[in-house]
Structure formats: C-alpha cells, structure tokens
C-alpha cells in the first residue's frame, strides 16, 4: 500500500473514535494514528528494493513491545493520557500491518516473527516484481504491475476517497458549530 493510503486509513481509524472522546483527546489520538499508520514504511528509505523493505517495523511483536514501553513510561510522565497515547500508536501501526497484509504485492507480513519467519499475504505475491527501488513505485513497470489486481487497487482508492470525504464532512461540521 502507498504511504498516502496509509495516512488515509490512519485518519479513518482516528475519526472512528471521534464521538467517544473530547476534542483534544480525539486530536491527539488522530495525529498519533495518522503518524504511526505511515511510520513503519520509514524502513523503505533504508532498503534498496520494494520487496526487501519489510524490516522489524513491519512485525506485530515490535509494536506490542514498543507500545507496552510507551504505556509503562506514560504512566509515570503522562498518567492521564498514557492509555490514549499507547492506543493511538498501536492502532496506527497495527492498521499499517493489516493493510500491508491485505494489499501485499511483492512482500507480506511476518505475523509470528520471531517464532516463524513465514511471510503472510492475502493474494499471491510476486517478489521478483519488487526488485525496484521505492522511488520507482510510481513508474512503470511497477505501477502497471501494482494496478493489475483491480480489487486491491480499488480498495486502496476507496480508502483514500472515504478519508477525503470524511475530512470535508468534518470541516463542514466544525464550521457549522
């Protein structure tokens, strides 16, 4: 999944809890959700290929440990917001893994790392098509290959449209207050 789509599902996850919390809480959760929906792909900067970019940042165990540390440290320094911070980070990162698993084209998710190093994906993947740099993802031949699975491409476009629609709706709602 492309970075912009990760940001979009981060927004959707944040917006989903909008009605449950006060505005300032929602804003913090929303920004954490968006940031950490995108963050795992930072490993792409250090990888020579698209297919090889899934580091430990793309494993659940990393985020379970990271969020546990955030929760424990937060209890000391931000006792009123530590649960929200840990949940925001975890929701964003977990959604990233989930959507990368659903829309995997060249590399999947190692759900049970480090116990198993099996790569999981929903649709068949073609690692050989991912032997290009992450900066060539928007160019052919990668782009044509990426669009081959119309269902997955449609899903990704849909996530972006839904997020844009919701952003416009929320701005409109805020202005009417």
Residues that bind Zn ion (CB under 5 A): 41, 100
Strand partners, 120: 109
Supply the minimum distance, in Å, between the C-beta of residue 43 and Zn ion. 8
Supply the minimum distance, in Å, between the C-beta of residue 28 and Zn ion. 24
Q: Which residues of 31-63 are buried (b: 16+ CB within 10 A; e: fewer)?
A: ebbbebbbbbbebbeebebbbbbbeebbbbebb
Supply the minimum distance, in Å, between the C-beta of residue 67 and Zn ion. 17
By beta-carbon proximity to Zn ion, the closer residue of 41 and 156 is 41
By beta-carbon proximity to Zn ion, the closer residue of 4 and 168 is 4
Supply the minimum distance, in Å, between the C-beta of residue 61 and Zn ion. 16
By beta-carbon proximity to Zn ion, the closer residue of 160 and 170 is 160
By beta-carbon proximity to Zn ion, the closer residue of 84 and 95 is 95
* Helix locations, 45-149, DSSP H: 60-77, 82-102, 142-147
Of 108, 123, 25, 32, nearest in space to 70 by CA: 32
Question: For residue 161, with 0-12 CB atoms within 10 Å meaning exposed, 13-18 middle and 19 or more buried, which class applies?
Answer: exposed
Strand partners, 109: 120
Nearest-CB residue for Zn ion: 100
């Amino acid at each position: 999944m492309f970075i912009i789509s990760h940001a979009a599902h981060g927004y959707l996850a944040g917006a989903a809890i909008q009605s449950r919390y006060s505005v300032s809480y929602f804003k913090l959760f929303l920004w954490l959700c968006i940031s950490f929906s995108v963050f795992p792909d930072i490993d792409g900067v250090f990888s020579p290929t698209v297919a090889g970019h899934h580091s430990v940042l793309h494993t659940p165990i990393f985020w379970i440990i990271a969020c546990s540390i955030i929760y424990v440290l937060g209890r000391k320094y931000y006792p009123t917001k530590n649960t929200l911070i840990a949940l925001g980070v975890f929701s964003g990162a977990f959604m990233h893994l989930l959507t990368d698993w659903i829309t995997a084209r060249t590399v999947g998710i190692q759900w049970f790392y480090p116990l198993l190093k099996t790569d999981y994906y929903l649709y068949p993947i073609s690692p050989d098509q991912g032997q290009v740099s992450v900066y060539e993802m928007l160019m052919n031949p990668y782009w044509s290959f990426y669009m081959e699975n119309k269902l997955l491409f449609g899903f990704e476009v849909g996530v972006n449209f839904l997020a844009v629609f919701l952003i416009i709706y929320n701005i409109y709602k805020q202005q009417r207050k």
